[in-house]
């Protein structure tokens, strides 16, 4: 733990009822309530990981018992500065995994940590673990400024075709499922969580559309491209039209799981990584298929507000991160300079 990161003793920060200290119990309630407010299981898992990292910076193992109510404006500001400078500090082997996350997108990641802390403390305030003055000061902690070049990449049309071709190496069910998965994620701009959340009820075969439930419980209905529709029909011919998840998990023999279990988010990543390995393409993440969808639309001249709706973004600034047309113009300008 950094010597700067210490918890302050807060006056009247314990809740005593009938001679029993309920502070730890209410702290657990505050953390649980914050996580329960998050829109998806993936968000909950990620933010619990973030809260665990925060607690560990104070030599505390369990975020549910960490005394969040003892954090002050000054302590959180010091913690913010600690996050900002962490990438230049010497890390122990035990902290490498943690620091990798903090270094990946420094300002955004630091602000994610601040948002998590403030989120828990908002519930601490509601539970009367901190007073109004303390909470008001905590809300005044400013975010970290700065940007980083967006991670990830777009896949070329040739790479997408190659992935679909290589899926045919698997037994028929796995081959059809993975080809449909690649094309639906690419041509509909699906997040991993959205792809595994699809069910047979999501597909309207008459209108050739897919109903997608995204972040924040926001729903959008998108029309399938001809190639995605063809791949989906080929997969459904093997899957059948019985109700349930659209994409089934496979067993070790690459056949449909006997219990008809749904494909999970880790299963999506594993399937795509396997296809990438046998296709020999440059590595990519599942989200890069969504990035490819957005980039193709923007390069085709589609209005960015329409792209925002197609992606299901609440904030236009999120969509703008996918827009790399200015980067291409800069590359073209540099090439002219060196001619």
- The first and second tokens of residue 110, run together, are 């630091």
Whether 49 is catalytic is: no
Report yes or no: 30 and 124 within 8 Å, Cβ to Cβ.
yes
Sign of CA dihedral 186, 188, 193, 199: negative
Q: Which of 113, 239, 322, 324 is catalytic?
A: 322
Supply the Cα-derived Rg of the chain in whole angstroms: 24
Residue from 177, 191, 192, 291 carrying the catalytic annotation: 191
List the structure tokens of 125.
Answer: 């305030």
What would the DSSP string read from start to end of 236-284?
HHHH-S-SSBSSB-B-TTSSBPTT-PBPPHHHHHHHHHHHHHHHTPPP-
Q: Cα–Cα distances in Å, from 116 out to 43, 49, 130, 230, 329?
A: 11, 10, 16, 43, 37
288: Cβ contacts below 8 Å, ≥ 6 apart: 152, 153, 154, 155
DSSP 43-61: HHHHHHHHHHHHHHHTT-S
| Catalytic annotation present for 215 | yes
CA distance 44 to 180: 28
Q: Is 336 a catalytic residue?
A: no
Name the catalytic one among 82, 123, 291, 313. 313
Q: Exposed, middle or buried: residue 339 (CB in 10 Å: 0-12, 13-18, 19+)?
A: exposed
248 is catalytic: no
Q: Is 290 annotated as catalytic?
A: yes
The catalytically annotated residue of 174, 290, 291, 324 is 290
Which residues, other chains included, contact 292 with Cβ-Cβ below 8 Å and sequence gap of 6+? 154, 155, 160, 186
269 belongs to the catalytic site:
no
Q: Is 21 helix (H, G, I), strand (E, B) or coil?
A: strand
Which of 215, 220, 227, 321 is flagged as catalytic? 215
Q: How far apart are CA 114 and CA 144, in angstroms?
A: 9
Question: Catalytic site residues?
Answer: 191, 215, 287, 290, 313, 322
């Amino acid at each position: 733990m950094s010597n700067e990161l210490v918890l302050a003793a807060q006056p009247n920060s314990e809740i005593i009822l009938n001679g029993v200290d309920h502070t730890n119990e209410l702290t657990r309630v505050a953390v649980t309530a914050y996580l329960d407010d998050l829109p998806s299981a993936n968000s909950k898992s990620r933010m619990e990981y973030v809260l665990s990292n925060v607690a560990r910076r104070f030599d505390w193992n369990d975020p549910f018992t960490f005394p969040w109510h003892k954090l002050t404006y000054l302590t959180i500001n010091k913690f913010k500065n600690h996050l900002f400078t962490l990438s230049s500090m010497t890390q122990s082997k035990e902290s490498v995994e943690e620091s990798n996350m903090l270094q990946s997108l420094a300002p955004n990641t630091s602000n994610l940590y601040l948002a998590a802390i403030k989120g828990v403390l908002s519930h601490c305030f509601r539970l009367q673990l901190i007073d109004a003055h303390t909470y008001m000061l905590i809300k005044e902690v400013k975010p970290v400024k700065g940007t980083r070049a967006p991670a990830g990449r777009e896949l070329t049309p040739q790479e997408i075709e190659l992935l679909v071709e290589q899926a045919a190496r698997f037994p028929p069910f796995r081959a059809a499922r993975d080809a449909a998965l690649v094309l639906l994620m690419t041509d509909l701009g699906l997040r991993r969580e959205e792809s595994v959340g699809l069910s047979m009820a999501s597909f309207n075969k008459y209108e050739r559309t897919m109903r997608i439930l995204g972040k924040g419980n926001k729903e959008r209905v998108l029309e399938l491209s001809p190639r995605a529709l063809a791949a989906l029909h080929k997969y459904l011919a093997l899957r059948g039209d019985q109700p349930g998840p659209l994409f089934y998990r496979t067993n070790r023999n690459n056949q449909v799981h006997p219990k008809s279990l749904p494909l999970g988010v880790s299963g999506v990543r594993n399937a795509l990584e396997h296809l990438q390995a046998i296709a020999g393409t440059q590595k990519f993440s599942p989200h890069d298929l969504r990035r490819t969808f957005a980039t193709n639309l923007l390069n085709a001249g589609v209005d960015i507000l329409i792209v925002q709706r197609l992606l299901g973004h609440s904030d236009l600034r999120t969509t703008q991160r996918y827009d790399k047309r200015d980067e291409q113009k800069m590359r073209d300008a540099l090439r002219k300079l060196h001619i």
